[in-house]
């Protein structure tokens, strides 16, 4: 596996720059990371809430870094919506 983040499906130069803004520069830094936390850090680094579809891409990148098959980012949309709904409903 390439160390370059753009070697992951769904991660182009723009998404790689979001990762770089939070100190993630290699694929090896992704396994075991919480995609929601990474997305929240990306949003904070940019000073505004980023498109939630970016979270789908982050979920995809972490999965691939952990050895799961590459899937299109939209494969994660329903999981992201459920995850964010569950997170908001928690006390």
Whether 2 has a pLDDT exceeding 70, the answer reads: no
Mean of all residue pLDDT scores within the chain: 92
Domain residue ranges of the chain, discontinuous segments joined by +: 5-89
Most distant pair of Cα atoms in the chain: their distance: 41
pLDDT confidence tier of residue 3, bands split at 50, 70 and 90: confident
Pick 86 or 80 by higher pLDDT.
80
Q: What is the pLDDT of residue 88?
A: 62
Q: What is the pLDDT of residue 84?
A: 79
Indicate if the alpha-carbon torsion angle 9, 54, 31, 91 is positive or negative. negative
Q: How many residues does the chain have?
A: 91
Q: What is the pLDDT of residue 58?
A: 98
């Amino acid at each position: 596996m390439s160390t370059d983040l753009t070697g992951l499906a769904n991660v182009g130069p723009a998404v790689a720059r979001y990762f770089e803004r939070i100190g993630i520069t290699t694929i090896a830094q992704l396994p075991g990371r919480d995609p929601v936390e990474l997305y929240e850090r990306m949003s904070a680094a940019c000073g505004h809430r980023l498109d939630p579809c970016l979270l789908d891409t982050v979920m995809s990148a972490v999965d691939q870094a952990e050895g799961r098959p590459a899937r299109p980012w939209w494969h994660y949309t329903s999981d992201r919506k459920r995850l964010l709904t569950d997170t908001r409903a928690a006390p």
